[in-house]
C-alpha cells in the first residue's frame, strides 16, 4: 500500500479533505445506439438502479446532480417532479465531458456542508436518429458562427486540426493513436455494456474510412443513449449500510485555461497538477489506472502529458513503451472508454468515474486491474470551434487505502 506523503504547500493551502466521504453504488443503464425514449427515462432508470444497489428508499436521497444535454425543455428541477423525488439540494451541470468531475466536486461539498445527506449524481442522454443535428444547432455560438459556414458540423474537423498539429509538432504517428484504440477495444471485450463487441486490429484501424484528415472512423466516438450514476454519502453511512466504497483523495476543476494559446495542446490540468497530487498524497507513479476522457485519441495523449505521466510532447514515446491493457502496463480506460463503449452525451463525463469506483471497490464488470489502490478519472469537454473549455480530474482510492 502506498504511504501518503506530506501535503505540498499548494495542497495544504487549498485542499479539501474528502476522506470522511464515500462514493458508492456505481451503476450503468446499458447503452443503445438509438432510442425512442427520452433522457428523462434514462435518468429514472439510473435512479432506480442506484436505489436497488444501495438498498435505500427514494426518500433517503435528498440531493440530485444531473448532467444532460437532452432534457430540454426541462432542467433538473423538472426531473424532480417526473421522478417523484423531493430534494433539498439540486444541481444541473450540462458540461459534457467535464460534468462527472464537476458533479462529484459539488456533491462532496454539499454533503460536507450538511446541505444533503445522500446525493445521486447522474449523467444521462438519449440519442434519436436526428439528435446529433439538433444538438449542433444549439451547442455553441462560436461553432455556429466560425465553423458551420465552412460546411463543418460537429467536433470532427476541430479535432482533426488539433490532431494534425500535434502529429507535426510532437512526432505522433497514426500507429501511436491506433495502439491506444486497439488496447481500449481489448479492454472493452470483457465489459458487457460496450457497444463494440469485436476485437480491433491495428490494420483495421489504419485502413478505416477517412472522416476528417487525419481522423478516421475509429478515432471517433459513437453517439448513443445511456446513463451512468453513483451516490455520494458519508463514509460512516456507507459502512453502516455495508456498501463497498471508494474514497476521494483530491479533485481539480478549471475552465478556459490558457486562452492565449493559439492551438490547444494543453489543458487546465497543468495548472492544477501540483495541487491534485499534493492533496492526494501520491505521485503519478503511484497511480494504478487512468480513465482519460477519450473523445479522440489525441486528447488522451494530451491528458497523460498534462497529468505528469510524461513530459509535454512525450506522449508518443509513452504510448510506444506501454500496453494500456487492463492486464498489461499502465491500464487506461479499463472498460474500453468512449471509443469502444460509446458516447452517451453527458453520461460520457461520468463513464470514467463509474468505472473507477467499480475497479476500486472490486465490483468490476470489465477485467480487474490487479490490486488497484489509486486511480484517476479525467474530465474534458465543451469544445467550441477550436478548443475544449472544461478540464477536471479526481484521484480516487480504495476505501481502506
Phi, psi of 341 (to 5 degrees): -85, -40
pLDDT lower than 70: segments of the chain = 1-16, 131-139, 153, 401
User: Residue 104 is placed in which grid cell?
Assistant: 462529484
Domain ranges of the chain: 18-130+225-241, 154-194+205-221+247-396
Integer Cα distance of 322 and 14 in angstroms: 34
How high is the pLDDT of residue 159? 92
C-alpha distances in Å from residue 112, one per residue of 18, 100, 116, 211: 8, 18, 8, 46
CA 254 centroid distance within chain: 15
| Partners of residue 228 on adjacent β-strands | 28, 123
* CATH 3.40.718.10 matches 154-194+205-221+247-396: no
Please tell me whether the overall predicted TM-score, pTM, comes out greater than 0.85 for this model. Answer: yes
Q: What are the b/e assignments for 197-207, b being 16+ CB within 10 Å? A: eeebeeebbee
C-alpha distances in Å from residue 344, one per residue of 233, 255, 350, 397: 26, 22, 10, 26
Integer Cα distance of 279 and 10 in angstroms: 8
Domain 18-130+225-241 fold: Peroxisomal Thiolase; Chain A, domain 1 (3.40.47)
Integer Cα distance of 269 and 184 in angstroms: 23
**Secondary structure of 217-270 as H, E, C letters:** HHHCCCECEEEEEEEEEEHHHHHHHCCCCEEEEEEEEEECCCCCCCCCCCCCHH
How high is the pLDDT of residue 139? 65
Confirm if 122 and 67 have CB atoms less than 8 A apart: yes
Rounded to 10 degrees, the C-alpha dihedral 45/47/48/50 comes to: 120
* Residues listed for the chain: 401
Phi, psi of 16 (to 5 degrees): -110, 130
Identical fold, 18-130+225-241 and 154-194+205-221+247-396: yes
Integer Cα distance of 260 and 294 in angstroms: 24
C-alpha distances in Å from residue 230, one per residue of 32, 65, 126, 139, 179: 20, 10, 19, 26, 31
Confirm if 364 and 240 have CB atoms less than 8 A apart: no
| Partners of residue 232 on adjacent β-strands | 23, 119
Cα–Cα–Cα angle for 360, 294, 272, rounded to 5 degrees: 70
CA atoms within 13 A on the CB side of 319: 27
Integer Cα distance of 317 and 327 in angstroms: 20
Q: Which of 203, 222, 217, 200 is nearest to 34 (CA)?
A: 222
Amino acid at each position: 500500500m502506498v504511504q501518503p506523503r506530506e501535503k505540498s504547500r499548494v495542497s495544504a493551502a487549498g485542499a479539501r479533505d474528502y476522506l470522511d466521504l464515500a462514493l458508492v453504488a456505481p451503476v450503468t443503464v446499458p447503452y443503445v445506439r438509438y432510442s425512442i425514449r427520452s433522457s428523462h427515462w434514462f435518468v429514472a432508470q439510473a435512479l432506480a438502479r442506484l436505489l436497488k444497489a444501495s438498498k435505500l428508499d427514494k426518500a433517503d436521497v435528498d440531493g440530485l446532480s444531473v448532467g444532460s444535454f437532452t432534457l430540454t425543455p426541462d432542467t433538473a428541477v423538472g426531473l424532480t417532479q417526473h421522478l417523484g423525488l423531493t430534494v433539498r439540494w439540486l444541481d444541473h451541470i450540462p458540461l459534457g465531458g467535464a460534468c462527472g468531475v464537476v458533479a462529484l466536486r459539488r456533491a462532496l461539498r454539499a454533503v460536507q456542508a450538511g446541505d444533503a445527506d445522500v446525493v445521486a449524481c447522474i449523467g444521462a442522454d438519449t440519442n434519436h436518429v436526428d439528435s446529433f443535428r439538433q444538438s449542433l444547432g444549439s451547442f455553441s455560438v462560436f461553432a455556429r458562427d466560425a465553423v458551420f459556414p465552412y460546411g463543418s458540423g460537429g467536433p470532427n474537423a476541430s479535432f482533426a486540426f488539433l490532431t494534425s498539429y500535434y502529429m507535426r509538432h510532437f512526432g505522433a504517428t497514426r500507429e501511436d493513436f491506433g495502439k491506444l484504440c486497439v488496447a481500449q477495444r481489448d479492454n472493452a471485450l470483457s465489459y458487457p455494456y460496450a457497444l463494440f463487441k469485436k476485437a480491433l486490429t491495428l490494420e483495421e484501424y489504419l485502413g478505416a474510412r477517412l472522416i476528417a484528415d487525419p481522423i478516421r472512423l475509429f478515432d471517433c466516438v459513437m453517439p448513443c443513449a445511456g446513463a451512468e450514476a453513483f451516490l455520494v454519502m458519508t463514509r460512516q453511512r456507507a459502512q453502516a449500510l455495508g456498501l463497498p466504497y471508494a474514497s476521494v483523495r483530491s479533485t481539480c476543476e478549471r475552465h478556459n485555461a490558457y486562452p492565449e494559446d493559439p492551438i490547444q495542446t494543453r489543458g487546465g490540468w497543468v495548472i492544477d497538477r501540483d495541487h491534485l497530487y499534493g492533496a492526494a498524497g501520491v505521485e503519478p507513479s503511484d497511480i494504478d489506472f487512468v480513465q482519460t476522457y477519450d473523445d479522440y485519441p489525441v486528447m488522451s495523449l494530451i491528458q497523460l502529458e498534462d497529468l505528469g505521466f510524461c513530459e509535454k510532447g512525450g506522449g508518443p514515446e509513452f504510448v510506444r513503451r506501454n500496453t494500456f491493457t487492463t492486464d498489461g502496463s499502465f491500464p487506461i480506460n479499463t472498460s474500453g472508454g468512449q471509443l469502444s463503449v460509446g458516447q452517451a452525451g453527458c453520461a460520457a463525463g461520468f463513464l470514467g468515474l463509474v468505472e473507477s469506483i467499480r475497479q476500486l471497490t472490486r465490483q468490476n464488470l470489465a477485467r480487474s486491474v490487479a490490486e488497484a489502490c489509486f486511480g484517476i478519472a479525467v474530465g474534458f469537454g465543451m469544445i467550441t470551434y477550436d478548443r475544449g473549455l472544461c478540464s477536471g480530474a479526481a484521484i480516487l482510492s480504495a476505501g481502506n487505502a
